[in-house]
Amino acid sequence: MSFLTPLYLIGALGLAIPIILHLLHDRPKNKQVFGSLMFLDKTKPPVDRKRRPTHLLLLLLRCLALLLLVFVFARPFVTVDDPAAAGKRDRQWLTVLLDQSASMQRGDLWVQAKGKVLAALEQLGPGDHFTLYAFDNKADLLVDVISWQGSASEGEVTQLLERLDKPSFGGSNLGQALVFAGEAIQEYEANPDERPLVKRDILVISDLQKGSRLGDVQGYEWPTGIKVSLDQIGEDDQGNCGIEQVAARTLWAATESVPSFRVSNSSNASTDEFEFVAQSSTDDDPLSQKVHVPPGRSRVIEFPTEWLGQSINRLSVRGDVADFDNTFYFAQEKQQSVRIVYIGEDKPDDAEGALFYLRSAFQKTSALNFDVQFMSGKSAAPLPEADLYVVGDAVNAKLSTSLDKAVRAGGTALVIVHSGKQAGNMQQWLDAPNLGIDDVKSKDYGLLQSLKLDHPILSVFRDSRYSDFTNLHFWNYRELQSLPEEGIQVLARFDTGPPAWLLVSRDKGRLMVMTSGWKPADSQLALSTKFIPLLYSVLQPVLESKTQSRQFFVGDQIRISKFNNGNVAGSVSIIPPGNDVAPIKAGDVFLPDKPGLYTVSGSDWSEMFAVNIIPSESRTEPIPMDQFQRLGLPMNDLVATPEQLAVAVATEKTEAHRHEYWQWALAAMLLFVIIETVLAAKGSRSVEPITAS
């Protein structure tokens, strides 16, 4: 017999208490009057020299009750080696989350991790439930053994691990994996046919690098009774350096922008001198420059001017220990063409007209090539195809109908109401036969109010730094009469009440109406800082459908339809990086699984895109452990060392194979206490009066 908490056995010393109390005389029951107690001192409790059998029995019962209480606390148990008996024990569920993210490629972390999985199998007994997930940015279920069959199941897991020869290139999303595992356990237990499991543990075997995402756990109500143990492998004591591209802030600010890259050095790095190397596709000698990045800092490096002409497609940082993330694949952005048609009577070089400012707003950038055309509203020519139509004047019936069709087919049009002549067009486009247009003669100027900054078109101004429209004065504006109530969103109103900017959905397309334009005679809009963001916002859905970044991360969903300026038809194939690699037939979405330069090609076109490891993987310093506690995870142990794990496994085994007897000891103790109470009550009734001799 062994004891789970043997220290409580010290409590057996408490047996001395009833023995001493029994040796001491009970409080005398006889009373003796005496002349004066002035010469008497209090003496020690009198000793009973005449013990009675009843007292001995009581003493025995009291001692036994005390002894059993000590036993209950010490938790006696007998380890059972009988396999039949072991089969009857309570089952446990061990879920192992194995990190296979890119950062696990460092050193021998992957081998260590697989070894830890095998070590964890030691604590499993017959009938236990074992689940193994490998996670990076997603969690893959590798094995789910409902009833553990000892060596047979172990062999299955070992074979499976052998097949996992190396980790993936994905980013680590530990939070998602934890939630996934927790939900799986909950789902399984929700089944009423399943016997509830006594112990449910999730063991995370990971390098627990700081770049691992834990956001999914935040706000997730962790199921009760499921404990999480963390087994950190590998201690990052030499730091790591990562490289990533600095994204352009805004579309309209990307004019002729020079690609820039951020080199980050981890805070525990042992070095701060690196070499920034660029390699071109022509396999010329690599270009390089020295970079100084102190530990814990990052530095943005722009391409030197002399590098700009080169067709650089690989960048790397040399000088740190871990090289899994040192190469950055770079695909030059392809310029997308956007066609804008202005329908009106303005001259392109007339600074008093709207077209002049429209052409100025849509300047060519490295990513976008704007083609601004213009035509008269009275023209008999057919309406050309365009991504955005801007209507500045009344148009004839033919154009009006064509425009309506184009918009209904999914086009975008921006209509500026200048005069009452446009009433006919507006009646057609807004399906409002009674619509009229009145000029509003303001004494001084009109201001915008009731702006719907939550709307996607105006959301660019949501930041309080940009939401002030009081500097924007409107000298002339119009009021649309008899507007239909349905199907029209008013994005902004003038301070006198009439709508200023309206958005109308026409089947697949959109029509935006401005009751005052940006001509200098109408307003200050063209000259304000709001003008270009507003036009880009109107164009944004078009750009989103057509443009596609060339830079992706492993695990990103790449929409094939966005390549080739949005004109993807027929079969598309993707050639992964590497030599002699067979092309893959692409569907709508492609999920790259390794970094490199991919080529996507259709029947008559071909484009290149780059896939990289997510930059967060480069942050290899360990996660602060208090972060797990803050997230409310019920931790078994923050980080278990191998020794602690071995002890824990041994304890688990012992617990699994033991029979505890504390319940019986407790029952016996209660019985003794009851008998003692009865005897003591009986004894107290039969006490004889003690008389003075």
Partner 1 sequence: MEIKSLSLRARAVVEGFMSGLHRSPRTGFSTEFTEYRQYSQGDDVRFLDWKVMARTDREFIKKFEDETNLRCTFMVDFSKSMEFGGDDSGVKKSDYGRTLAASLAWFLLQQRDAVGLATFDRDVREFIPPRYRQDQLKTLLGRLETQPAGQVTDLCQALNKLASLVGKRGMIVLVSDFLTPIADLEKSLNLFTAAGHDVRVVQVLHPRELDFDFEDAAIFEDMESGRSLILDPGLARESYIEKIKAHNAALDDTFSAQGITSFRVSTTEPMELVLLRFLQQQPAKAVVRQRRSTGRTAA
Site string for partner 1, 88-107 (x = CB under 8 A): --------------------
Q: Which residue has the tokens 């304000």?
A: 528
Minimum gap (Å) between residue 49 Cβ and partner 1: 10
Comparing CB distances to partner 1, the nearer of 32 and 191 is 32
Comparing CB distances to partner 1, the nearer of 43 and 151 is 43
Spatial separation of the C-alpha atoms in residues 287 and 559, rounded to whole Å: 33
Comparing CB distances to partner 1, the nearer of 50 and 88 is 50
Spatial separation of the C-alpha atoms in residues 203 and 132, rounded to whole Å: 10
Residues 6+ apart with CB under 8 A from 465: none
- Residue 693 found at the interface with partner 1 (CB under 8 A): yes
Beta carbons of 46 and 25 less than 8 angstroms apart? yes
Minimum gap (Å) between residue 24 Cβ and partner 1: 11
Comparing CA positions, the residue from 103, 357, 117, 361 lying closest to residue 236 is 103
Q: Which residue has the tokens 């409590």?
A: 11
- Residue 688 found at the interface with partner 1 (CB under 8 A): no
Contacts to partner 1 from residues 41-60, by CB under 8 A: 41-47
Spatial separation of the C-alpha atoms in residues 382 and 394, rounded to whole Å: 16
Spatial separation of the C-alpha atoms in residues 544 and 562, rounded to whole Å: 9
Distance between terminal CA atoms of the chain? Answer: 54
Site string for partner 1, 468-487 (x = CB under 8 A): --------------------
By the 10 Å C-beta count (0-12 exposed, 13-18 middle, 19+ buried), 419 is classed as exposed
Comparing CB distances to partner 1, the nearer of 25 and 347 is 25
Minimum gap (Å) between residue 19 Cβ and partner 1: 19
Q: Which residue spans within 572-621 are E strands per DSSP?
A: 573-575, 584-585, 589-590, 596-601, 606-612
Q: How many residues bind partner 1 (CB under 8 A)?
A: 25
Comparing CB distances to partner 1, the nearer of 37 and 582 is 37
Comparing CB distances to partner 1, the nearer of 32 and 663 is 32
- Residue 659 found at the interface with partner 1 (CB under 8 A): no
Contacts to partner 1 from residues 9-48, by CB under 8 A: 25, 27-28, 30-47
Comparing CB distances to partner 1, the nearer of 33 and 381 is 33
Minimum gap (Å) between residue 82 Cβ and partner 1: 59
Token duo for residue 411: 């086009």
- The rounded radius of gyration (Å) of the Cα atoms in the chain is 41
Maximum Cα–Cα distance for the chain, whole Å? Answer: 142
Comparing CB distances to partner 1, the nearer of 25 and 659 is 25
Minimum gap (Å) between residue 30 Cβ and partner 1: 5
Exposure string of 256-281, with b = 16+ CB inside 10 Å and e = fewer, is eeebebbbbbbebbeebebebbbbbe
Contacts to partner 1 from residues 325-354, by CB under 8 A: none
Minimum gap (Å) between residue 650 Cβ and partner 1: 57
595 phi and psi, to 5 degrees? -75, 155
Minimum gap (Å) between residue 26 Cβ and partner 1: 10
Spatial separation of the C-alpha atoms in residues 575 and 122, rounded to whole Å: 44
Helix, strand, or coil here: 265?
strand
Minimum gap (Å) between residue 684 Cβ and partner 1: 17
Comparing CB distances to partner 1, the nearer of 29 and 443 is 29
Minimum gap (Å) between residue 682 Cβ and partner 1: 23
Residues in touch with partner 1 (CB under 8 A): 25, 27-28, 30-47, 690-693
